[in-house]
Chains A and B, each alone.
Chain A
Amino acid sequence: MKINFRLLAMNLSNFSPRNYVLLVATFFCFIQNSQQLYEDQIGKFDWKHNFVGKVKYAYFDGTAGDRIIVATEQNVLAALSVRTGDILWRKIMEKDIRGTIQYLHVTQSDKNELTRPGEYNDYDIITISGTSPAMVRGWNPNTGNIIWEWSLTPNTQANAENSLWIFRDLVLYHIVPVYGSHIEVTGYYAKTGHHVKSTTTRVSAPWIVQGKCIVVAPYFVCTIGSQLVAVNLLAENSVLVAKDFDRDISGSDLKLLKGVEATVIVGNEAYTLHSDKITLRSNVDSFNFNLKINNENILIAGSLQEDKSIRISSKYLDSGEAYNDLYLVAHFPETLGSPQILDVQCKSKGSGPVACRMLLSSDNAAVILMQQGKIKWVREEALASIVAVEMIDLPLADFEGSIQSELQNKDGDIFGTLLRRISNQILQLRNMILTVIGLDGHRPDQTNDVDLTRDAFGLHKMIVAVTEHGKIFGIDNISGKYYWIKHLPNFKGFNEHQSLKIFVQRTSRHFPNPPMCVVIGRNKINGNGILYQFNPISGQPINGGITTLNYKIQQMTLLHDTESDFLKAILILDHENKVHVIPEKAAKLAHKMYLYTADKTRGTLSGYLVEYSNQQLDAVPIWEVHLGGAGNIQKITNIAMKSAIEHVHSQGRVLNDRSVLYKYINPNLVAVATQGPDSIHKYVLNVHLIDVVSGAVVTSLTHRRAKGPIHMVHSENWLVYSYYNDKVRRTEMTSVELYEGKSQANSTIWSSLDAPQLPMVEKQSYIIPANVVSLKETITEKGITNKHVLIGLSTGGVIEMPWVLLDPRRPILLPNQGREEGVIPYIPELPLPSENVINYNQSVAAIKDFFVTRIAPSKSFDLLKEDFDYILITVVLAALTISSCVAKHLSSRKTIKQAWK
């Protein structure tokens, strides 16, 4: 009977903290005292990669030669070095929609000849972020300092979202199209925000349709039926210009041809807009750019080739004749996706050939600089939006693996076994000698160790990071090096903000079977399920890699039992509540598995039992709860499950009278937070603990006048969550612990159907004097170490909070008889000492940097310091041994001499 099967699935689960601080940290009982890092230990166990996010707008900085100004989808304005791609400076705007960068203007050198290189004026960089209000800011390109700022609150909120901007001759024009009616144009002096004219110009344009129009400064262009229609917004008496086509073009893409002239691309033809006509220029390729070289209008066009290369050619925009100075074919790895040209900078030295730099960005967020016909650098900005992470143990070294296989191999004749044993032992001996000789080469903190084998403490791991854009990375956790990159162009996340999922189907422990991971998502083409199976160490696909399914996925999990190949099969519940197992031969292992699904808006959780009979799988609905209340006013906002790999080492807690309070350790327990309005208390936040196998509501807590954002961490027998208390206007954290009582119902095996219905609930709330943006617990292999909670703060710090400080059993009044061990008296405010910030001054900003470090919640144990001097100890030992031999010899000679006297 598998009633105690743990359920790992969820539809709604991953509101994970990874979304923000790229989590990380954890692990085994090791390395030095993690807190209070010494100055010389900086960068020893940790590394950090900084990101800017997927680039939206980018320009080569005209005023200084070696800088690229980028504005990104993660609301970041940054300057990148042209030579290396490093971030020179970075400014992070407001979060979410308030800081969305709408417009970026960077002064180009040819328009700005009065300024000497290195100098700047007030108009060098202008950004506009947000819509209501829109923040207009001017920046210094050298330092990234803000120089001026003003805000614009639009009159009509509804139209403001469609706002467009043009910057021309020190004036910023705000364009608000009111679809089906007119276009409003207002001019502001960029530096001060003063109106240029006292009134807003209204350009009557009843023909404009949302989604069919773009702004190509200074024109507003639409594809209407079989016509391309444009109007000059900045002219005094704007005239409509149109071009007739012999076909309906409203369905084809209307794109801006970036560069110097007001040119648009319709289909695969470029058209230039003039005040009185629209002229056809020439054909374009899959990505294009227009620039002036020696006063000639050049069209740069490129496309990807079959053989993993990129071909970029150029021609005169007017005549369509080939321009021979600029032609290149370069190697272009598949993992970079399909590119677009962001900006091109060309230099011609006298009459010689032109040299160009090209900045490309791809659909999977890579930023690429091409120079001299090849890729100079690549920034993998996809890592700024990681949605799922797994840390994989490295496989055993070959000789250890062969020992393992020998131990597993029971058959074979006696001589074969003997031979194998001897050869193994020779290998082992050789390895031992190598280790002794090359002591330095095998220290655990060796960072440039290239062979991917497990170290003595299992600290060296492979981080498999899945990003929003369907790009997967295999990253070394010690050096931060990318071992492999894979791009899955057809993958997208699930609906309701559910990202791509990753599961570990087989760990590295089952030598010689390779470890195996699977990424599951939705097919971009038809929304059906799609999965990619691969080896997380090498990044190579397994079983052909991609499997497309012919059904939509509602829920998925891994099976617990495996067949002889140790592979955990995937269990999928499709949109028609049918059950599938991949691979199909493992179907019978899914018998008596439990699954549950959650409906966020209705607040419903439903449980299913999977039954295998007559070669067929069925999902029987077995329970249903409604957390929405009457009228479904409470919406599910967070679901927190326990980690699937968690082990709880200690079953209970010793009280001061030496009796034991047993923990209620229910692996099937899931915490669900619901939020909704309330007639008396304004908002109410409820937290329910639900057993997703039995469907029982174990306990419910209600917070009055509290609201999100909620962050939860659920582990062992406790739950910690943070929320905003609107009544007292501060962030608070509540911790809840569950105990079975002084005796255990069943100490050997957990069954949700047999569990006590009313466990003891201990709860306490604390004030946290900071803004919490993510929560995660530390996890160790056997669960022996103390638990710490890692708290990501809005300041960019990650605080390590020992569980004892969050313990709900902290007594307010000291009891008269002896205190409980390890329980400290209650103080309402949680301390946030700066020594506990594990990323010291390496802030992980709101834009998702990647910081990896090690922490040791229970301190390290029998490890040598990382700066332990192996040579010195060897020399000292050798010297002592030699000197003792010498001394012994000398002393025996002396005694003999004395005896002869």
Chain B
Amino acid sequence: MFLKLYLPLMFIASISASSLEYDGWLHINLYHAIDMDLPNKFTPRGNVTISSLNSGSFTIVQEPLSNNERIKIKKLAENDKVYRLKAVVSGQDGEEATFLTYSRACALAASQLTDSLWVSLNHLGHVLGVSQSISGTGNCRDQSFNHQVDALEEFNTDVFVKHTELAPIPDTASFIQKMEREREARERGDVKDNRGFLAKYWMYLLPVVVLVLLSGASNPEGGGGGAR
């Protein structure tokens, strides 16, 4: 599957691209709403500890689901409801922040509870958002929901950290360097003549064209042949 291969690859690229000046840690408590009859009741799902924001290393603790919970998730999936996840994040500064994210319950069931959590950070390492994603959602309608309840045994979760990147500043330095190099090259005289073919050889081509035109004009039969 394309996405599964693609994501980890990009992930490594992203953490190497930017990082925080001071590394930190995060603790996330996860709660989910799986009861269709009580849509605003969030029950504990597990917790994540990201020990290093720069490296993105994490540990996750999630208990296996009880039979009752599995049935509830299956029911959500069958009714094409959303599976909502609440993340309560606490960090080094002790402040707690609550984030909300969701996925389609049928996609979650189809993936057998395999999901990814994306934790986005701002330039100071504060959390902007926690987002749940499920790879290969496809179209829920095509999938049959008669999954075994047993398949919905345990969450299999990956956690990724997304950093804020430093925006580029106008790159005047390398432009000046480039101009400098070009100037030096010109002074050394080894500038490659990259003018077009016509621009380079027009003085040779012009007489040929004139000759052709003259010979055409001296032969009126050939020129006016198509008139009638």
> Contact between A765 and B2 (Cβ–Cβ < 8 Å)?
no
Alpha-carbon gap, A1 to B97, bound state (A): 32
Minimum CB–CB distance from A673 to chain B (whole Å) comes to 11
> Contact between A622 and B100 (Cβ–Cβ < 8 Å)?
yes
Minimum CB–CB distance from A769 to chain B (whole Å) comes to 11
> Contact between B118 and A696 (Cβ–Cβ < 8 Å)?
yes
Minimum CB–CB distance from B25 to chain A (whole Å) comes to 15
> Contact between A621 and B100 (Cβ–Cβ < 8 Å)?
yes
> In this complex, which of B98, B107, B123 has the most chain A Cβ atoms within 10 angstroms of its Cβ?
B123
Q: Which of B2, B104, B166, B170 contacts A766 (CB under 8 A)?
A: B170
Q: Which of A624, A686, A745 contacts B2 (CB under 8 A)?
A: A745
Please report whether the interface of chain A is mostly helix, strand, loop or mixed according to DSSP. Answer: strand
| B162 contacts across to A, CB distance below 8 A | 697, 699-700, 758
> Contact between A626 and B99 (Cβ–Cβ < 8 Å)?
yes
> Contact between B107 and A753 (Cβ–Cβ < 8 Å)?
yes
> Contact between B100 and A700 (Cβ–Cβ < 8 Å)?
no
> Contact between A623 and B101 (Cβ–Cβ < 8 Å)?
yes
Minimum CB–CB distance from A754 to chain B (whole Å) comes to 5
Q: B144-155, CB under 8 A of A: which get 1 and which 0?
A: 000000000000
Kindly specify which of A251-259, A376-384, A687-695 makes contact with the partner chain: A687-695
Alpha-carbon gap, A151 to B6, bound state (A): 65
> Contact between B131 and A696 (Cβ–Cβ < 8 Å)?
yes
> Contact between A627 and B124 (Cβ–Cβ < 8 Å)?
no
Contact A754 B137, CB 8 Å, known A686-B164, A700-B122, A702-B123: yes
Q: Is A373 an interface residue (CB 8 A)?
A: no
Q: Is A703 an interface residue (CB 8 A)?
A: yes
Q: Which of B13, B99, B166 contacts A625 (CB under 8 A)?
A: B99
> Contact between A745 and B131 (Cβ–Cβ < 8 Å)?
no
Contact A629 B116, CB 8 Å, known A1-B141, A765-B170: no
| B141 contacts across to A, CB distance below 8 A | 1
Minimum CB–CB distance from A131 to chain B (whole Å) comes to 37
| A626 contacts across to B, CB distance below 8 A | 97, 99, 127-129
Q: Is A146 an interface residue (CB 8 A)?
A: no
| A761 contacts across to B, CB distance below 8 A | 165
Q: A699-727, CB under 8 A of B: which get 1 and which 0?
A: 11111100000000000000000000100
Contact A697 B128, CB 8 Å, known A622-B100, A623-B100, A624-B100: yes
Alpha-carbon gap, A754 to B136, bound state (A): 7
| B95 contacts across to A, CB distance below 8 A | 630
> Contact between A765 and B168 (Cβ–Cβ < 8 Å)?
yes
Chain B residue with the shortest CB-CB distance to A744: B2
Minimum CB–CB distance from B15 to chain A (whole Å) comes to 11
Contact A765 B169, CB 8 Å, known A625-B129, A701-B164: yes
Contact-residue size bin, chain A (C-beta under 8 Å from the other chain): 35 or more
Q: Is B114 an interface residue (CB 8 A)?
A: no
Q: Is A227 an interface residue (CB 8 A)?
A: no
> Contact between B122 and A743 (Cβ–Cβ < 8 Å)?
no
Q: Is B167 an interface residue (CB 8 A)?
A: yes
Q: Which of A627, A694, A743, A767 contacts B170 (CB under 8 A)?
A: A767
Chain B residue with the shortest CB-CB distance to A629: B126
Minimum CB–CB distance from A83 to chain B (whole Å) comes to 53
Q: Which of A609, A622, A725, A812 contacts B174 (CB under 8 A)?
A: A812
> Contact between B170 and A622 (Cβ–Cβ < 8 Å)?
no
> Contact between A629 and B124 (Cβ–Cβ < 8 Å)?
yes
Q: Is A446 an interface residue (CB 8 A)?
A: no
> In this complex, which of B136, B168, B178 has the most chain A Cβ atoms within 10 angstroms of its Cβ?
B168
Q: Is A741 an interface residue (CB 8 A)?
A: yes
Within 8 A of A (CB), among B52-97: 80, 82, 84, 93, 95, 97
| B113 contacts across to A, CB distance below 8 A | none
Q: Which of A606, A751, A763 contacts B167 (CB under 8 A)?
A: A763
Q: Which of A3, A606, A756 contacts B3 (CB under 8 A)?
A: A756
Contact A620 B39, CB 8 Å, known A630-B93, A767-B170: yes
> Contact between A701 and B100 (Cβ–Cβ < 8 Å)?
no
Alpha-carbon gap, A767 to B168, bound state (A): 12
| A699 contacts across to B, CB distance below 8 A | 162, 165
> Contact between B3 and A745 (Cβ–Cβ < 8 Å)?
yes
Q: Is B37 an interface residue (CB 8 A)?
A: no
Chain A residue with the shortest CB-CB distance to B33: A620
Q: Which of B7, B14, B165, B171 contacts A826 (CB under 8 A)?
A: B171
Chain A residue with the shortest CB-CB distance to B106: A1
| A827 contacts across to B, CB distance below 8 A | 175
Q: A595-623, CB under 8 A of B: which get 1 and which 0?
A: 00000000000100100000000001111
Alpha-carbon gap, A606 to B134, bound state (A): 20
Alpha-carbon gap, A702 to B139, bound state (A): 36
Q: Is A734 an interface residue (CB 8 A)?
A: yes
Minimum CB–CB distance from A489 to chain B (whole Å) comes to 41
| A703 contacts across to B, CB distance below 8 A | 167
| B82 contacts across to A, CB distance below 8 A | 609, 620, 622
Contact A684 B133, CB 8 Å, known A702-B166, A766-B170: no
Q: Is A828 an interface residue (CB 8 A)?
A: yes
Within 8 A of B (CB), among A248-295: none
| A630 contacts across to B, CB distance below 8 A | 93, 95, 124, 126
29 A/B residue pairs, CB under 8 Å, sorted by A: A1-B80, A1-B139, A622-B82, A624-B99, A626-B127, A630-B93, A630-B95, A634-B122, A686-B164, A695-B100, A696-B118, A696-B133, A697-B162, A700-B122, A701-B165, A702-B167, A704-B166, A734-B167, A753-B107, A756-B3, A757-B7, A757-B10, A758-B10, A763-B167, A765-B169, A812-B178, A813-B178, A827-B175, A828-B175
Question: Beyond A623-B102, A627-B128: 16 further Cβ-contacts under 8 Å?
Answer: A1-B141, A623-B129, A625-B120, A629-B126, A686-B123, A695-B129, A697-B129, A701-B166, A732-B169, A734-B168, A754-B138, A756-B10, A757-B10, A767-B172, A812-B171, A812-B174
Q: When A and B form their complex, which 4 residue pairs have the shortest distance between CB atoms, in order from nearest?
A: A625-B129, A697-B120, A700-B164, A702-B123
Contacts from A to B (Cβ < 8 Å): 1, 3, 606, 609, 620-627, 629-630, 634, 684, 686-688, 690, 694-697, 699-704, 725, 732, 734, 741, 743, 745, 751, 753-754, 756-758, 761, 763-767, 812-813, 826-829
